[in-house]
Amino acid sequence: MSDTAPPTLPAGGGIDLSADAYPSDSRYANDDLRPVPLAERRWTTYNFVALWIGMAHCIPSWTLASGLVALGMDWKQAVLTIALANVIVLLPMLLTGHAGPKYGIPFPVLARASFGLRGANLPALIRAAVACCWFGIQTWIGGQGVFVLLGKVFGGWADVSKVGGYPWTLWLCFVLFWVLELAIIYRGMDTLRRFENWAAPFVLVGAVVLLVWIANKAGGFGTLLDEPSQVGWGADFWKIFFPGLMGMIGFWSTLSLNIPDFTRFGKGQRAQVWGQTLGLPTTMTLFALMSVLVTSGSEKVYGAAIWDPVALAGKTDNVFGLLFALITVFVATISVNIAANVVSPAYDLANLAPKLINFRTGALITGVIGVLVMPWKLTSTPELYIFTWLGVVGGLLGTVAGILIADYWIIRRTVLHLADLYLPNGRYWYSGGWNWNAVIAFAVGGVLAVGGSYSTVDAKGAKQGPFPVDGLIPFLKPLADYGWAVGLGSSLILYVALTKARGARV
C-alpha cells in the first residue's frame, strides 16, 4: 500500500500539478512531457470517436479482411475475426487510457511508474521503433495511392525515368506525403485534433461513395458473398483463426500502449471511454464489412476481386471521381499516420533525452527513420504481414501492456504520485532508475510470446517468412499463435508476483 493518502480529485476527476512540484530544470521533464493542465484537457467524446474513425479508415485496415480471405476464410469468418479482435483490444486500450484524463501524462511517463525513470525508455523505444516502421509503410502506401490516381488523371504519369527501380514521380508523391504529415504534426496536438475532426467524416463519406458507386455498376453484389469458406468451421479454421485473431489484435496493440498520449487531453474518463468504445470496434467492423461488399461488387463488374481500394478507384474514367478518390486517399492515410505513427515516437524519443529532444524534434526523427527502414516489404504476402509482422509486434507490445496494467490497476489501484514521475531518487527511481521486476517480467513474457515464432511453408515447399519452420525455440512454437495474449497474461502475472514477493514500495 502507498504510505501517503491518495490525492483529492477535483470535480472533473483529473489531477493537476503545480509548476513548482518538481525542479524546473529536471532532466526528466520538458514542456511536452509535463502533465497537461486541467484547463487544457478539452477533448470530448466526439474528438475520440473522430480520432478512431480517422485512424481506422485507411488502406491497410481496408485490406485486413482480404488477407484473411486469401488464407481461406469466407467473408463472414473474416469480419467476425476482425470484430472480435477489436473488442478484445479495446479493454487494454481503456485500461491504459485511464491515466491520461486523470493525470495528463503521456505513455512514456506512465511507464516510469512500472519500469523506472530510466527503465521506461525500454518500452518507449520498442514502441517508437514499431511506429517508425508503420510510418514508413503508411507513407509508402499513401504515396503509391496518389501516384496511381494521378496516373489516371494525367496520362503518362508513370512513363518517366526511374530512380531506384521506381518512377521518379512515385518518389515525388512519397516525399509530398512525408512533408505534409510532418507539417501537420509539427504544429502540435491541437492541430491534429482539428484535422481529425473534419477528416473523419470526410473519409467515411468517401468509403460510402465507393460502395454506392460499385453497387450501382454491379447492379447488386457479386459472388464473393456466396463463396464458401475454404477451411470450413473445423480444425483447419482454428489453425487460421487464432494467429489471425492475434494478428488483428496486433494491428492496434501499438495504440493500446500509447493511448495516454491522446487521452491526456480528454475532459474526463467519460469522454475517453465512450469515445473509444463507440469509435474503435464499430468502425473497424463496419470498415471490414464495407471492404468485403465493395470487393464483392468489383468481382461481378471486373471478373476478379479487387481488394485494393486505390486500384478499384482507378478503374473509373470520371475525372471528378478520380480527384475525389485522390483526396480521400490523401486524407485517410495522413489522418491515420500522424495520429498512430508519429505522436507516439515523438513523445517516446523526447523521453529518451527531454532536454535535447522535444515533441517536434521527435516527430522529425520519426519521419527520417521511417524513410530509412523502408518497411513496405512487410506487406508483400498475407503470411508475412499477418503472422510475422503483426504477430511478433503484437506479442512484444502485449507484454508491455500486461506490465502497465498490472502496475497501474493491481499494484497501485490507479494512484500515482505525479511529481515523483519527474524526480530522480523519488519513489519511481527504484535501482538506478530501473525497476528490475518490470524488466524480468518483460524478458520472460517476451520470450514466451515470440520465442516460438515460426514460418509457414507454401504448397511448393518454400518457406514463407524469416523464422525457422520449427520455431526459434521449438518447444514454444505452440504459443506463437497466441503471442499477444501470452505476452500480456504472463507478464501481468509475473510482475504482480515479483512485486508482491519483494514488497516493493508503491
pLDDT digits (tens, 9 = 90+) for 363-403: 888 888 888 877 556 555 555 555 566 667 778 888 999 99
> pTM for the complete prediction?
0.83
Give the pLDDT confidence score for residue 10 in this predicted structure.
45
Q: Which three cell numbers stand for residue 337?
A: 499516420
Give the pLDDT confidence score for residue 425 in this predicted structure.
84
pLDDT digits (tens, 9 = 90+) for 188-242: 667 777 777 777 788 888 888 888 888 888 877 776 677 777 778 878 888 888 8
Give the pLDDT confidence score for residue 503 in this predicted structure.
67
Cα separation, 295 vs 66, in Å, equals 9
- Of 388, 324, 351, the closest CA to residue 105 belongs to 351
pLDDT digits (tens, 9 = 90+) for 157-176: 777 888 777 788 888 888 88
DSSP string, 259-327: THHHHTTBSSHHHHHHHHHHHHHHHHHHHHHHHHHHHHHHHHHHSS----HHHHHTT---HHHHHHHHH
The DSSP letter of residue 475 is: G
- Of 107, 103, 173, the closest CA to residue 326 belongs to 173
Give the pLDDT confidence score for residue 78 in this predicted structure.
85
The DSSP letter of residue 166 is: E
Please give the mean pLDDT across all residues of the chain. Answer: 82
Q: Evaluate the CA torsion angle 417, 423, 426, 432 in order and state its sign.
A: positive
CA atoms within 13 A on the CB side of 416: 31
DSSP string, 190-210: HHHHHHHHHHHHHHHHHHHHH
Cα separation, 75 vs 65, in Å, equals 7
Give residue 139's pLDDT band: very low, low, confident or very high (50, 70, 90): confident
- Of 16, 54, 405, 48, the closest CA to residue 261 belongs to 48
Q: Which three cell numbers stand for residue 198?
A: 473534419
* pLDDT surpasses 70 at 349: yes
Give residue 259's pLDDT band: very low, low, confident or very high (50, 70, 90): very high
